[in-house]
A and B are shown apart, each in its own frame.
Chain A
Amino acid sequence: MTQIGEPILEVKDLKVHFPTPDGMVKAVDGLTFTVHRGETFGIVGESGSGKSVTCLTALGLIKRESAQISGEVLFEGHDLLKLSNEDLRPIRGKALSMIFQDPFACLHPFYRVGDQIVEAIQCHDSCDKKEARNRTVELLSAVGIPQPDDRFRDYPHQFSGGMRQRAMIAMALAHNPSLLIADEPTTALDVTVQAQILELIDHIKQEFNIGVILITHDLGVVADVAQSVMVMYAGRAVEYGSRDEVFSGPLHPYTWGLLESIPNIDRKGARLVPIEGAPPSLIRVPTGCSFNPRCPHRFDPCDKDRPELLDRGGGHPEACHLRVEDKKRLWNEREAGRVEEVAS
């Protein structure tokens, strides 16, 4: 198994608020987490829960003029939020790199794939073109692109979706990063290709002993490849723990809802149990617990006090007012109910 090493990225009380004419959009509202070397850190949540904004902020890709950002993002001894654009440049794309969701939009259609990777190499390394080219070919073969010598001269439209994502990974790996952020890297791909790409990311993580942040809305992907999981809802973490803790003993009603609304591939399940309602607008986040209007277990303090992300004795931090014993009982009842329903 993978060894989990020292922390490489520490995010402390990160807040990202965007002022708009309609009010303040609280995209991320107080988020704290740590990513270690050799670890795949999964961030799960529905669209608009603040997953991507968190990572874009860490990379300095959110314009500071248009947002109010506070908190700390510590990476290799620097607070990334305090660095100027010039100081960020030697870090971003080098020690800290990112792959994006849409491999079709990330490569320039007019330039050859190889040249785009060469540019990424020369951007941080003052090596000559020939050396950069050789390294590109090596990278392309490392990410599993057949005949990298010939493929170097191809344009993006000659690559399939999976190969483009591989090329993007090659570009991200160009400078041996210590942290790779993957924002929904497989959402645009078919399942068979998704399996290939996830395997590749896992392989790279082990070979180079780096940290990986995997942002996804697919709980299945996280359960397969991540070591730690953070579940986000409306800009805040609602549950945070190791994969085994979160998947075998989830302690937040939102995580329960997510787990129960996925159709199971192993058995034809009974009726799905959806979460009622829709995610809230980030301008008018409900007071108290932001999940309370959709929560089947809400009680007195839920719409008044906001639950903090704390370990209430269940083994990992979660943000829910219910007592731990009650939550364990409720989850076990829900699971038992589902098994019974399938059996009948």
Chain B
Amino acid sequence: MSRAASTNEPTTDTPPEDIAKSSKAVGEPLVTVENLTKRFPIKKGIIFQREVAAVHAVEDVSFAIYPGETLGLVGESGCGKSTTARVLLKLIEPTSGKITFEGEDITGLNKRQMRPMRRQAQMMFQDPYASLNPRQTIGQIIGAPFRIHKLSGDTKQKVQELMERVGLNPEHYNRYAHEFSGGQRQRIGVARALALRPKLIVCDEPVSALDVSIQAQVLNLFEDLQEEFGLTYLFISHDLGVVRHISDRIAVMYLGHIVEVATADELYNNPKHPYTAALLSAVPKGKVGTQVTTRTVLTGDVPSPVNPPSGCPFHPRCPKARQVAGGDGVPENCRVELPPLGEVVENHHAACWYPLEESEELAKAAHA
């Protein structure tokens, strides 16, 4: 059983900008994140609060995004996707780690110092109902970035141009959010994010709340805008089909760790981490002939991020580890030591002691 370990020895300490580069990775990265960690303390006591535990939301995450590229971030709920995005934009302070934007270290900047950077990096949210102020008109909502950054000029005209660009009727300038459908509201969110011509847009599940026919319209809009304005996206979604469609490169997260990074095609055709393989096989294919029974169904739930498992976070559910150990056990190194995110094949990084061989089938995990 030493074959996997010896042939695919993971390399440690790859600099974030070299992790699984896509063809769009030219020049300097727009954003780099190094060893980013975020823990939310859990406190007890009424007057004398003491920290009793911490939620390990993001653990030692490193990646880089190059200009014009779309990095997809996938994972199940609670795996730290959104926290990573929020920390990246410094909406939450990181516990440790370093964030660089256009070569400048922004980790230690305070709110005021962040202002100029905020023009360059905007965010889009999941819920088109909660992310728009119901008491403001669309004109006010999309014009807010101009107001906040005290930009002169004809705001109304600029807003109407934006509305036209994202496919809204500019005459609806004075309407309120409730007068629009879900898809139109998401377009309003896009227009607001686009207002200051940012370089980076962080999209946190932007199409999850939409019906499929509308979802396709919004995804096409994202692609058009990227081409037109040279945008860079960090695209978060739990929908693996959507992420594959839009991303150049994809990072898979599990319990706060990035477990695999590769270009979209490589990741879907040749997953190396058992978790990625299981995740992909769980997606209904929408094709006649695929049956539920041929899937790798993971048993159990994601462990609590308050008490993450030792060693590899995936080892309690990993079918491959059981295969390697034979029977119900788990190999020693999976249980004890955290596998580093190493290059398994060229431009394909995975954090696993026993990465999958090409077209290796995962055994169906036995039911508990």
Interface on A for B, CB 8 Å cutoff? 46-47, 144, 146, 160-163, 190-196, 198-199, 202, 217-221, 223-225, 243-244, 247-248, 257-266, 268-269, 271-275, 278-279
Contacts and interface: CB of A to CB of B under 8 A. Distances in A.
Contacts of B265: 268
B241 to A, nearest CB: 4
Contacts of A262: 212, 216, 241, 286
Interface residues of chain B: helix, strand, loop or mixed (majority): helix
A257 B268 CA distance: 25
B147 interface: no
5 contacts: A144-B368, A223-B285, A258-B213, A274-B216, A275-B216
Given A220-B286, A278-B214, A263 B245 contact: yes
B238 A273 contact: no
- Kindly state the interface size class of chain B when it binds its partner: 35 or more
A225 B368 contact: no
A287 B288 CA distance: 34
- The list of the 4 closest CB pairs from A to B, nearest first, reads A220-B284, A263-B245, A274-B216, A261-B216
Interface string B275-292: 000111111111110111
Contacts of B290: 223-224
A146 B301 contact: no
Contact of A46 (B213, B217, B246, B298): B213
B34 to A, nearest CB: 29
Given A247-B286, A263-B246, A274-B215, 14 more contacts: A163-B301, A191-B279, A194-B282, A195-B292, A199-B293, A258-B213, A260-B216, A261-B213, A264-B241, A271-B220, A272-B220, A274-B216, A275-B213, A278-B181
Contact of B288 (A47, A217, A243): A243
B308 interface: no
B285 A263 contact: no
A144 B245 contact: no
Contacts of B76: 190-193
A273 B215 CA distance: 11
A194 B103 CA distance: 42
A224 B301 contact: no
B322 interface: no
Nearest to A248: B288
Given A261-B212, A265-B241, A278-B181, A146 B292 contact: no
A266 B285 contact: yes
A198 B216 contact: no
Contacts of A194: 282, 284
A164 to B, nearest CB: 11
B297 A196 contact: yes
Contact of B211 (A47, A198, A266): A47
B212 A192 contact: no
B215 to A, nearest CB: 7
B242 A263 contact: yes
Nearest to B299: A196
Q: In the complex, which of the residues A144, A163, A191, A261 has the most CB atoms of chain B within 10 Å of its own CB atom?
A: A191
A161 B281 CA distance: 20
Contacts of B268: 265-266, 268
A270 B183 CA distance: 22
Contact of B286 (A47, A199, A223): A223
A223 B214 contact: no
B219 interface: yes
Contacts of A162: 301
A160 B302 CA distance: 9
A273 B280 CA distance: 23
Contacts of B367: 144
Contacts of B118: none
Contacts of A225: 292
A132 to B, nearest CB: 25
Contacts of B217: 274
B139 to A, nearest CB: 22
Given A194-B282, A257-B213, A265-B285, A224 B292 contact: yes
B244 A268 contact: yes
Q: Most A CB atoms within 10 A — which of B280, B281, B284?
A: B284
A217 B183 CA distance: 16
Nearest to B75: A190
B264 to A, nearest CB: 6
A323 B76 CA distance: 45
B212 A46 contact: yes
A261 B210 CA distance: 12
Interface string B219-251: 110010000000000000011111011100000
B284 A223 contact: yes
A228 B322 CA distance: 38
B77 interface: yes
Contacts of A217: 211-212
Contacts of A192: 76, 278-279, 282, 297-298
Contacts of B158: none
B67 to A, nearest CB: 21
Interface string B188-216: 00000000000000000000000111111
B238 A190 contact: yes
Interface string B4-37: 0000000000000000000000000000000000
Contact of A258 (B212, B280, B284): B212
Contacts of B281: 195
Interface in B69-103: 76-77
B335 interface: no
A199 B292 contact: yes
A278 B184 CA distance: 10
B295 interface: yes
